[in-house]
Amino acid sequence: MAESTASRQRPSLGQMRSNSFLQDHQQYKPPVNQTIGEVLGALPDEVTLSNPIKPDPERVTDSGIIHSLFNRQANPLPQGTPRIVATIFYKSANPVHPTYHPDVSPALRPGNKLPSPQIPSGSAPSVDIEKIPREPPVPEPEPLDHLYGPYVSQLCLTNFLQVLESLPTPYQRTYTSHRCLDREEQPHVVEVTFSPPPDPAYLSFDDLRKHESIWRFEREWNVEVVLQQESVFRRHKRLAVFDMDSTLIENEVIDEIAKFIGVEKEVSEITERAMNGELDFSASLKARVSLLKGVPADVFDKLKSVLTISRGARELCRALKALGFKMAVLSGGFQPLAEWLAGELGLDFAVANHLEIDPTSQTLTGKLVESKPIIDAAQKRSLLQSIAAEHNIPISQTISVGDGANDLLMLHAAGLGVAWRAKTKVQLEAPTRINGQSLTDILYLLGLDNEDIMELCTGPAHQAQ
């Protein structure tokens, strides 16, 4: 009878279905048979017990709220532990999933019907056997931002931290902090600092930047993540160099010139292939320039009214100038327009290609000036390094920004290389990428918030000019 009673008191694994996880496990803890007097009597004589009611002299207690003058939490990580900063941008103007839920889309109402789902291109059904996919199409990730808010939500942030914890490296406790850079409520730019980084023996920093888990997180939440190693030089740069076409200006200059002579289609095709890295830049440049033979030399003056300076370019350059930056435009375009743009934006240097002009007819000969180097990828990197060396600026304190394949070398050489709304090949190979609406997004990568940016753009340094 005693045996059956004992078996009822100790449930089997299949019977542990109570509402309390703690109660399930309390029954296996050893019983406490000592009284409080026995516990106190076992203490050494030199130990003095503090009165639990006596107030802590370093704290002031009032109405149940504790105010502390000292941070008593010891730093769990040793001083000098590396840290990584992740800047998360929500892509509000470029949704990955165009189908919005009526409850969260301002353009739709709860009573509206959702559009019919569309079959992905290249998937069944199809009557053409050659068009039937050999394997099922890769499913698109769930559009979580449409469910939890079109901004960097708390759940988005939590999911990002879970991604970091789940990286295939030996497990280690990660300590994180974050701050909203544009606004506290429903932010679109959030900076997350985490430490320690993954062990480089298992996952290098370059591989971390392109990790498939982070890519999937970006797709699910419609965000972009820029990872940087934290240091004083991340926040304090001194030199910024920019590409011109499709970066500081929205146009491709050589395409605009081609419109004057009716060869726009031929030139545009060569330009697109060169920017995607399909053609050698120097050879493609010479091929395009040869099509411009006979164009009046004053074409550059006429183009100034056609060119559109990119959104945020003036504010970005104004802010960097207020911080004491040296700035340059290094362009595969042409020198007259590079110099004009440098004057418009207050840049210190302008280097581009020189077109040969026939002094008699004052027209373009269709050739480049032989005595001047072609501003290709290698030359842009060399110019970045030489300008930095000339002004005693460490390469870690430099920024380069571009969009084409001929910018990749300088993007990798700079302390921070940013592919801005870049071509596909550049998006994949560049150290970092941003596809925002304004070039001022680059300032967030320096740790500046909206208040800092407003002060730099409209503060005393600008008013005095």
Task: Please determine, for residue 250, whether its predicted confidence score (pLDDT) is greater than 90.
Answer: yes
349 or 252: which leads in pLDDT = 349
As separate numbers, helices (DSSP H) first and strands (DSSP E) second, the chain gives 20, 14
Q: How high is the pLDDT of residue 16? A: 44
Q: Which segments of 250-399 does DSSP mark as H helices, in order?
A: 253-261, 264-275, 281-290, 299-303, 313-322, 335-345, 377-390
Task: Please determine, for residue 5, whether its predicted confidence score (pLDDT) is greater than 60.
Answer: no
Q: How high is the pLDDT of residue 459? A: 61
- Taking residues 111-119, report their average pLDDT: 55
- Stated pTM of the model: 0.76
Q: What is the DSSP-derived secondary structure letter of residue 309?
A: B
Task: Please determine, for residue 98, whether its predicted confidence score (pLDDT) is greater than 60.
Answer: no
Say whether the peptide bond before residue 115 is cis (omega within 30 degrees of 0): no
Question: CA distances (Å), 15 to each of 2, 7, 247, in order?
Answer: 20, 12, 67
Indicate which residues carry an active-site annotation. 243, 245
Q: Give domain limits for the chain.
A: 80-93+142-230, 239-458
Q: How high is the pLDDT of residue 137? A: 61
135 or 190: which leads in pLDDT = 190
Task: Please determine, for residue 348, whether its predicted confidence score (pLDDT) is greater than 70.
Answer: yes
Q: How high is the pLDDT of residue 79? A: 82
Q: Does domain 239-458 have CATH number 3.40.50.1970?
A: no
Percent of the chain at pLDDT exceeding 90: 51
Residue-wise pLDDT tens digits, 160-196: 999 998 887 787 888 899 999 999 999 999 999 999 9
- Taking residues 276-288, report their average pLDDT: 82
For residue 400, give the amino acid letter: S
Task: Please determine, for residue 51, whether its predicted confidence score (pLDDT) is greater than 70.
Answer: no
Q: Does domain 80-93+142-230 have CATH number 3.40.50.300?
A: no
Q: How high is the pLDDT of residue 104? A: 47
Q: How high is the pLDDT of residue 464? A: 43
147 or 178: which leads in pLDDT = 178
